[in-house]
Structures are given as structure tokens and as C-alpha cells.
Amino acid sequence: MAPITEKHTAAPRKRRSRQSLAPWLFLAPGFAMFLVYVIVPVFQSMWVSFFEWDGLSPKIWIGLGNYIELFDDEAFYTSLKNNVIWLALYMLAVPAGLMIALFLNQTVRGIRIYKSLFFFPFVISQVVVGLIFSWFYAPDFGLFYKLIEWVTGSQVAILADEHLVTYGIIVAGLWPQIAYCMILYLTGLNAVAPDQIEAARLDGAKGMKMLWYVVLPQLRPATFIALVVTVIGALRSFDLVSIMTSGGPYGSSRVLSYYMYEQALSEYGYRMGYGAAIAVVLFAIMMIFISGFIWKMWRDEQGAR
Amino acid sequence: MFPRPIQGLSPTAQRAYKIALPVMLILWLLPLLGVAMTSVRPTSDLAAGNYFGWPSALAFDNYLTVFKNTALDKYLLNSFKVTIPTVIGAVGLSCLTGFALAIYKFRANHLLFFMFVAGNFVPFQILMVPVRDLTVSLGLYNSISGLALFHIAFQTGFCTLFMRNFIKGLPFDLIEVARVEGVTEWQIFRHVVMPLMRPAIAALSVLVFTFIWNDYFWAMVLTTGADTQPITAGLNSLNGQWIAAWNLVSAGSILAALPPVLMFFAMQRHFIAGLTLGAVK
């Protein structure tokens, strides 16, 4: 009997120690990569933002110098303002996506093909989307250009107009973003409880009332994801600005992400420190949202336990 | 079901819906249809000012011309060379990390998990200067492997979130039973969990493929020139060179869009499952 009891007491201990080491072995390669390429660089950027640095010669410590310069930088405020416009208008993708999802949520022949074709814009690279739209806006022959000329009688070159350019780019960005929100809502609508809808129908609810009081509360998870991806998408916008205008005309379509790139890594300059300072500001803005999301996920996580 | 099924409505309403569907679709995809049509438009049409009308002839040789006159073939090949290792690397690593975070209880579990999640939302610009420096000092600047290595690391964040949530949804009893049987942790991962992860791996692979194929920012930061740049960056320089040759730029754009689009159609169900599962469980 003795060996058996010994085995019984030894095995759990061995297993427990195995189990305390195992997660770290599984985590090590992925965690190391993530640490080196994502976590540490965030702090390195913050550090670099206190220096005047061209990327090659020795760094010169200037403390808050870069941030003080940002305060008086006209271009910085333009970028910041455009980021706010992006954020506000990008939100349209959420209701627009919901509308298209409601339109497509039927069971007729071929509806699945329709759904996937509506999703198309999201799968295509933003570079291609940017090219497509700049061609649509092109003066003299662009389709939008001609349309505006036909409707209003005046000629408007959207991407060359400093007051309209940001809106023109946002429209291009909304196209794939709406598609993204649409697919989230289509999946959400699939999961809406049919008996609740039926019960509400018996109570005489329909149309907007039904949508607002019965359907939307059930779509809350889809709405949450749609908001997250839309906020992040709006603040990360870089590709379209770069492709369609390179921040122009006269820097009027810059956003923080593009302005940072321009300062740190383009023919206009190699001001790594100043660029890093801009990136830190963008990061700080995004952190407000990111912490909000994480906070909500953490609460859900506690609830699940 | 909401809205009310169309079958319950009057025949006129049903007919109206069936007409509205294709009309809406054409309006929605108008930008894309325009490009597709231009990609087969003969150059003479552009010279004559026929930009949006019906092409006078179908010039499929635009596709040949764009291959012959530009480095498009190289750019496309580079995209595959960056994308495929990234998919394998990021999905592989996140199988491990996701397993660790989903199965084991240890103190830093939540902290690590949320670190992966938060890192995945960070703006690229805050990583740009240090990652570029690191790549230069590793001697990997302007190389396919330098770009792929960064992508693998960054995508591991999103992939870990995804895999962890997926594994969390698996029945934990399976693992308990295996442990009682004395199976090692690695064997549990390999022979119990991995086989159940197939749908997650498929979903994640298509998603990551699309993300990386469409990346533009890191291609601009970490590579220069046709020998290393992927198609997104290539298209941008193509656009600069051929500013008036819209038919050729369009042909290039269609080619650039094709692989993720084909991927999406081949694995549609996985793709959509991935999008919704990946974001939040």
C-alpha cells in the first residue's frame, strides 16, 4: 500500500509545479516578440520625445522642448482639429452599417451573395480605396466632380480645396468602415431572439419603436464592437491621407498620424524627437478610448467568472 | 426576425425589394465597378476624354502592359513573401499564448491578456521610430524578413486575444480528464486542444492574411524600392509614375485587391466568424 499513497501525494505536487511553469513556457516566444516590438517601443518613443534627434547624430536632451514647440505649431492644431472631425464623422459608419444590415436581413434567393458583395469594400486595401476615390474626385473628368458640376453648376475639386479635402477623404474612409459595421450588425441580427420579437409584435410594437426598444438592446454587443473599431479606425487613419493628398493642400488634410510621419520620416525632415512627441499626443488620446474598452472588457470578464 | 420577413408583405413590396437589392448594390459598388471598367479601357479612350463612358473596346492587354512596364510582379511576389510567413508565425505563436492564457490560472494572467489587447490598439506612430531603429540595428532594414518579423510580433496581440477567447469556450473537462490520465501539458496542447482549434486557425489565417496584405504604413517605414516593397507601396509609386495612365493604375489596383478578395470568397464563413469572434467574445 505504501508505494501507492506515496504516488498519490507526489503526483499532485509534481503536477502543480509543472502547471506553474507550463504557462510561462507557452507564453515565452509570443510574449518576447510582443515585448520587443510593441511594449518596449511605446516607452522608447516617450523617451525619444524629450530629445532633438535626426535619427543619425547623437541625441540632444531638450526636455519638454518638443512639447513646447507643439503648443505654437499651427500644423499641429490643424491635425488635431482634423482628427476630431474624423472621429465625429466616422461615427456615421455605425448607424449607416445598421441600416444596410437591416435592409439585407431577409431570406430571399441569393441574399448571401448580396451580403458578401456589400462587404467587399472592407476587404480591399485602403491604398486601392484611396486611388479609386481620388480618381472619382479628379478635376475635369472625375465622376463626383461631374456630378457636383451637374447638380450645382459650379466646379469643385474636392481634394484641392482646403476646406473640403478632409471631408472628401473621410467619405472614402466611410465606405469600407460602413461595410465593416454592417457585417457586425448582420451577425448580431442573426442572434436576436425571435420569440421576443414575436412577443413585442403581439403587443403592437413595430418599426422604429421595435428597433429602439426591442432590437437595439439585443444588439448591444455588436454596437460595442462597431464603436470600438470605428474609433480606432478614425484615429489611426493614415493610408487614405497619404495616398489621396499627402496631407495637402497646404497641409490642410493632415491628421496627427500623418503629421508625425511627415516630421519624422519624409523629405520634409528627419525630426525623430518632434515626431515622437506628436505620436505621444496621439497615443494619449487613444489611451483614453483604449482604457475605456479594456475597463469594459475587464468588467465583463469578472461577470463571466 | 427583424425587420419583418419580406415574404409576409404584399407582392408589390416584394417586387420592389427584389429590384432595390441590385440597384443598391450597384450604387454601393460603383467606385469599384468604375475601376474595373477603366482597367480594361483602351488608352485611346482616355485620350479622347472617355473616362466613365462605356469602353470603346475591351483592352485586357492593360493587364499585360502593367506587368511589362512596371515592377508589379515583384511587388506582388513581395506581398506574398511578407504575408505568408506572417500568417504562419502570428497564428502559431498565438496558439501557444492563447492556450496559456485560457487554460492556466496564474497571477499575471489578466495583466498579460490585457497587455496583448491594449497593444493591439496602439497607434502605429508610437512604435515607428524605435521599431525602425531596431530593424536597422538588426541589419534587417529594407528586407522582407525585417517587415515580416515586425508583423508577426504585432499581430500576435490580436491573435492572442482571439485564440484565448476561443479556447476559453472549449469544454474544460476535456483537459481535466487528460490531466487525471497523466498526460503532459504539451501533449494536452498538441493532442487535445490543437485539433479543436482548426476553425479558429482558419478564421484567424484569413483575417491576418487580409490585414497584412493590405498594410501600407509599415511597408513605407521599413522598406524602400521594388526589391522589397509589397504591392500597397508599389501601387503608390505606380500612381506617381503613371499619373495620367488611369487604365494601367486601375489594372494594378484590381490585381492588388484580388488575393484578399479571393481569400474572402473562398473562406467567407471563417472570415466573418473571425471578425465577430475576434473583436470581443
What pLDDT shows up at residue B82?
A: 97
Helix ranges, A191-270 (H): 194-202, 207-210, 216-218, 220-236, 239-244, 256-264
B153 neighbourhood in chain A, CB within 8 Å: 33-34, 36-38
| Minimal C-alpha gap between B123 and chain A (Å) | 6
**A17 touching B (Cβ < 8 Å):** no
Q: Taking CB atoms and an 8 Å cutoff, what residues of chain B touch A33?
A: 93, 152-153, 156
Contact A129, A120 (CB under 8 A): no
For the stretch B215-240, pLDDT in tens is 999 999 999 988 999 999 999 888 77
- Which residues have C-beta within 8 Å of that of residue A296, sequence separation ≥ 6? A224
Question: Is A219 in contact with A206 (CB distance < 8 Å)?
Answer: no
Helix (H) or strand (E) holding A51: strand A51-52
Residue of chain A minimizing CA distance to B263: A123
Q: For position A11, what pLDDT does the model report? A: 52
Cβ neighbours around B68 below 10 Å, total: 10
- Residues 142-181 of chain A whose Cβ lies under 8 A from any Cβ of chain B: 142-143, 146, 175, 180
Characterize the bridge pairing of strands A60-61 and A51-52: antiparallel
Q: Give the residue ranges of DSSP H helices in B140-191.
A: 144-168, 173-180, 185-187
Q: Is residue A53 part of a domain?
A: no
Rounded distance, CA A187 to CA A133, Å? 29
CB contact under 8 A, B1 and A105: yes
**A51 inside domain:** no
- pTM value is 0.91
DSSP B68-110: HHSSHHHHHHHHHHHHHHHHHHHHHHHHHHHHHHHH---TTHH
Window A:69-128, CB contacts with B under 8 Å: 102-103, 105-108, 111, 114, 116-121, 123-128
Q: How confident is the model at residue B129 (pLDDT cuts 50, 70, 90)?
A: very high
Residue of A nearest to B273 (CA): A187
pLDDT for the residue B206: 92
- Cα A144 from Cα B220, distance rounded (Å): 30
Amino acid at A287: M
Q: What angle do CA B25, B26, B31 make, to 5 degrees?
A: 110
Reading the block at residue B157, the C-alpha cell is 496581440
b (16+ CB within 10 A) / e for A100-118: bbbbbbbeeeeeeebbbbb
Instruction: Please give the grid coordinates belonging to residue B67.
Output: 506587368
Whether A67 maps to a domain, the answer reads no
To probe the interface with A, which of B97, B117, B129 has the most A CB atoms within 10 Å? Answer: B129
Give the integer Cα–Cα distance in Å for A160 and A137.
Answer: 10
pLDDT number for residue A2: 42
Per-residue pLDDT of B173-187, as tens digits, reads 888 899 898 889 999
Q: Which residues of chain A have pLDDT under 70?
A: 1-18, 304-305
Query: Chain-wide mean pLDDT for chain A?
Result: 88
Binary contact (B185, A19; C-beta < 8 A): yes
Nearest chain B alpha carbon to A134? B31
Does residue B69 carry a pLDDT above 80?
Answer: yes
Q: Residue B278: which pLDDT band, with cuts at 50, 70 and 90? A: low
Contact of A289 with A231, CB cutoff 8 Å: yes
A and B: number of Cβ contacts within 8 A: 284
Report the pLDDT value the prediction gives residue B76, as an integer from 0 to 100: 95
What is the predicted pLDDT for the residue at A84?
96
Q: How high is the pLDDT of residue B112? A: 94
**Mean pLDDT to the nearest integer, B140-161:** 95
Q: Which three cell numbers stand for residue A190?
A: 442573426
B31-68 pLDDT per residue, tens: 888 888 888 888 888 777 777 777 888 888 889 888 88
Question: B171 — alpha (psi -120 to 50), left (phi > 0) or beta?
Answer: beta
Query: Is B127 close to A29, i.e. CB distance below 8 A?
Result: no
State the DSSP string of A177-201: HHHHHHHHHHHHHHTS-HHHHHHHH
Q: What is the mean pLDDT of residues B159-177?
A: 90
Q: What is the pLDDT of residue B242?
A: 66
**Residue A94, domain member (yes or no):** yes
pLDDT for B66: 86
pLDDT digits (tens, 9 = 90+) for A20-30: 888 999 999 99
Residue A12 in any domain: the answer is no
Q: In angstroms, what separates the C-alpha of A237 from chain B's closest C-alpha?
A: 10
Count up the domains in chain A and report the number. 1
What type of residue sits at position A197?
I
Give the pLDDT band (50/70/90) at residue B158: very high
Contacts of A23 in chain B (CB under 8 A): 100-101, 103-104, 106, 109
Whether residue A29 is contained in a domain is answered as no
Name the closest residue on chain A to residue B96, using Cα atoms.
A26
Of B94, B217, B239, the CB nearest to A30: B94
Contact yes or no for A38 and B119 at CB 8 A? yes
CA distance A86 to A241: 11
Residue A98 resides in a domain: yes
pLDDT greater at residue B177 or residue B281: B177
* ipTM associated with this complex: 0.91
Nearest to B156 among A33, A123, A142 (CB): A33
| pLDDT score at A3 | 44
Contact call for B123 and A29, based on CB within 8 A = no
CATH of the domain at A216: 1.10.3720.10
Do B97 and A257 make contact, defined as CB atoms within 8 angstroms?
Answer: no
pLDDT at A304: 67
Nearest Cβ partner for B25 among A22, A41, A117: A117
For A179-215, how does the pLDDT look when each residue is reduced to its tens digit (9 = 90+)? 999 999 998 998 888 888 888 888 888 788 888 888 9
Window 277-296 of A: residues touching B by CB (8 A cutoff) are 278-280, 282-283, 286, 289-290, 293-294
Distance from CA of B224 to the nearest CA of A (A): 12
Q: How far is B122 from chain A (nearest CA, A)?
A: 7
Question: What is the model's pLDDT at position A1?
Answer: 39
Residue A138 included in any domain: yes
Which residue in A has a C-alpha nearest to residue B106's C-alpha?
Answer: A20
By residue range, what is the domain housing residue A124? 73-304
| Selected residues 212-271 of chain A with any CB under 8 Å from a CB in chain B | 214-215, 221-222, 224-225, 228-229, 232, 235-236, 238-239, 242-243, 256-257, 260-261, 264-265
